[in-house]
Amino acid sequence: MPQSTLIFTSDFAKLGRDARALSRRQAAGELSRIRQGVYVPAAEWKALTAWERYPMLIQAAASTLRRSTVFCRQSAACVWGVPLLGTHTLVHACTDDGRGGRSRAGVRRHRVDTESLEIEEQSGLLVTSRIRTVLDLAAFESFEQAVVALDHVLKPDRSRGLEAVTKDELAAGLAPFCDSAVRRIQAALEFADPAAGSPGESLSRALLHVLGFKPPKLQQGIRDASGFVAYLDFEWPEEGLAGEFDGMVKYQKDEYLRGRSTSQAVIDEKRREDRIRATGRRVIRWTWSELADPRRFAAFLDPAGVPRLRRPSCGPHPGIRYENGQPLRGST
């Protein structure tokens, strides 16, 4: 979880201090209240992105709810580091109470059979297992979200020391779900592919499918007379077309820059693309901006010559309204 300061009204009371001082500091703009009884320095809160705020909301809820609270769905995904689509402010928790599904004080409770639920502890929080978490997303969220989550867990998460999950292991967890949910999960699971190199590539591929475009080859290695050139994010070999998703992190994060400046990284990428084009392939690039609205993405792909298999049968796909077009990665 982000290392920002959580200030609790209960702690003030235990120290015999006037908790009303926190309300006065909020009114003065010094603090932001993120949950009843929980505050954060306003400058820290303002500096956080939406996807950095969400894990803090989970931590704030965990600190004020019963110690046995089990977090699920998007909240468990955030704790596990599974990429999420969209802006999230509701914290999701399990309950065996028949009144599940209601929201109160920023927490939505989902009715589950807690006795049969696989529960693990991560970062000091009780959460549904990694497998159950991604199956819940596949059952109850969009196809695009399902693919992003499944692609992610089908390969190792080395930053967290987590092994890859197999499709057989995921399929073995379908028993608790109703028939309609199972069908949704199976459709996404059949489509999922660990070859997707990033959440943006997973989302791109899911949208290509939903919008009726021809499936591309993933991570195809190409060579020229000088040797290896690159792995292509997407390729349509018969059309001589290469597609590249550009998430911009390669120009910003040290792990991608590897000692280079941003400007040098841009130059290196331009040289790489020139070599790809020299093999006779056309190259198209898109970013989170195109993925933010499927209609916009389709309007970009059609003139670029990406082949179609069909037109969407259900009419124009509605905009998904991702936060700045970007998946949110829960961070613990």
187 with 133, same domain: the answer is yes
Q: Are residues 161 and 237 in the same domain?
A: no
Cα R_g (the chain), whole angstroms: 22
Residue 319 lies in a domain: no
Number of H-type helices and E-type strands within the chain: 14, 15
Total domains in the fold of the chain:
3
Note whether 220 and 281 are same-domain residues.
yes
The kind and range of the H/E element at 231 are strand 227-236
Q: Are strands 241-245 and 282-286 parallel, antiparallel or unpaired?
A: parallel
Burial (CB count <10 Å: 0-12, 13-18, 19+), residue 280 = exposed
20 with 105, same domain: the answer is no
**Is residue 92 pLDDT above 80, yes or no?**
yes
Residue 132, SS3 per DSSP? helix
Please compute the mean of the pLDDT values over residues 186-190 and round it to a whole number. Answer: 97
Model confidence pLDDT, tens digit, residues 9-63 = 887 766 667 778 888 888 998 999 999 889 999 999 999 988 899 999 999 999 8
Residues 217 and 190 in one domain: no
Does residue 228 share a domain with residue 189?
A: no
Render 2-52 in DSSP notation, one character per residue. Answer: --PPPEEHHHHHHTT--THHHHHHHHTTSEEEEETTEEEEHHHHHHS-HHH
Q: Which domain holds residue 306?
A: 202-312
- Identify whether residues 180 and 208 lie together within a single domain: no
Q: Specify the pTM.
A: 0.85
Is 84 contained in some domain?
A: yes
